[in-house]
Amino acid sequence: MSVDAQRDIINFGLLMILGVFIYYRNPKSKVNIIFFFYCLSIAIWDYADFKIITSQTQAEANFWANFDAIWMFEGTFLTLFVIMFSEKIAFLRRKITYIILFAPAILSVIIDLLTNSITGYPQMTDNGFQLYWDADPITFFFYFITGIWIFGLSIINNVILIRYFSKLKDSKKRKKTFIILLGTLVSTLLGVMDGIAYATDSNLPEIFSFSLTFYTFIVAFAIIKYRLFSVTPESTADSIISSMDDILFITDKDLLIKDVNNKTVEILGFDKAELIGKNFDELFSPLTDTSTKLLNILTVEMHNEKISFESKDGEYLSYSISSTQLYSPLGDPIGHIFIGRDFSLLESKKKEIEKKISEVTRLNKLFENREEELTKLKNQLLSK
């Protein structure tokens, strides 16, 4: 068995083990699921390469070459993972995000299956079948466009992680993000080197597959070191908070926002990183009497207080806010939790309840009137 075949089958085994391991650390987490598919796409690609190299006939090599096109999805799944990891929830709520990520990958796979213009043709060598790329203009065009798209996704991943890292205040999150960012930067550099080598027929060993495997093991280090992807009391609490239908803010005692849930991000239209560090009252609209509200917040716990927020788009949103103070183990106040429910929904429910009460009252009155009429009728009959 050639060195390339050994490398591919080892990569396949390691990636499958790592992908399944990450998935089962928290099977309900979308981040874990996406990273599993990322590992799976690379693992299938490595296995297809292994089968191509060890094929005994041209037909067999051609068959496995069809599966080699799966590598085009690794960039899609990696970018989804980066978006989720960096808490860019607003992106995930837009259909255009999934179209941008999946449409080029699907189109590239279809083109490659029909033309072999991107992954190349299997040809017999001294080390078994290898994929070779025809340097005609059409093939070069498809290969170049696909390469630009993959490289573009890599740049987007790095930019998202760098921006996320620069806005983080929590030291533990910064360390985790730095490790993921380091892996992304190195794998991007190795991928570019491999693309240049492949396009120029340089006699360099294939390093793109290695770069992706390297990245997965960077993440594995983060898992072991910082318990990334595992179920912890913190991650469980985060999951509950993230799934809430009410908006939620956690602030320090000076009302600087320390955390928000996904609903808050969705409703106000800001990225999470834009909200972290803002003063809570900066989000109030002009309809809110700031001085009175802040005095209430800092002196007493709030209960169903009407506060109007201003969204990123300038829309005024009224919410019924309740709050409670957070205390340290020594009993010192350290912050506040604010939970808000859409005031219009509360008003709607209130009107609905009032309507039902009115209807019940009307029915009771009607019943009483009928009862009086029946009593009169009964007395009339008895008098006769």
Q: pLDDT tens digits, residue range 22-38?
A: 888 778 777 788 888 98
- Average pLDDT on 139-155 reads 80
Q: What is the mean pLDDT of residues 53-75?
A: 85
d(C-alpha 288, C-alpha 319), whole Å:
11
pLDDT score, position 195: 63
Is the pLDDT at 212 greater than 80? The verdict is no
Nearest to 183 by CA among 151, 217, 208: 217
**Three-state secondary structure readout of 108-154:** HHHHHHHHCCCCCEEEEECCEEEEECCCCHHHHHHHHHHHHHHHHHH
Mean pLDDT of 301-319: 84
Please state, rounded to an integer, the average pLDDT across all residues of the chain. Answer: 77
Summarize the confidence of residues 309-332 as an average pLDDT. Answer: 83
Asked if residue 211 has pLDDT above 80, the reply is no
Amino acid making up residue 172:
K
Q: CA 48, CA 135: separation in Å to the nearest integer?
A: 23
What is the structure's pLDDT at 383?
67
Q: How confident is the model at residue 308 (pLDDT cuts 50, 70, 90)?
A: confident
Pick the CATH number of 244-346 from 3.40.50.1970, 3.30.450.20, 3.40.50.1820, 2.60.40.10: 3.30.450.20
Region 324-349: mean pLDDT is 76
Q: What ranges do the domains of the chain cover?
A: 3-233, 244-346
Between residues 172 and 326, the one the model is more confident about: 326
Cβ neighbours of 22 (radius 10 Å) = 26
Residue 45: band (very low, low, confident or very high) from pLDDT cuts 50, 70, 90: confident
What tokens appear for 224 in the block?
A: 């072991």
User: Mapping DSSP to helix (H, G, I), strand (E, B) and coil, where does residue 64 land?
Assistant: helix
Q: Does the pLDDT at position 227 exceed 80?
A: no
> What pTM was estimated for this model as a whole?
0.60
Q: Please give the pLDDT value at position 319.
A: 86
Q: What is the pLDDT of residue 231?
A: 47
Looking at 71-75, 79-83, 141-145, 206-210, which range is the least confident one? 206-210
**What CATH number labels 3-233?**
1.20.1070.10
Q: How confident is the model at residue 335 (pLDDT cuts 50, 70, 90)?
A: confident
Q: d(Cα 107, Cα 73) in Å, to the nearest integer?
A: 11
Task: Kindly indicate the confidence band of residue 313, based on its pLDDT and cuts at 50, 70 and 90.
Answer: confident
The predicted pLDDT at position 142 comes to 75
Mean pLDDT value across residues 244-270: 86
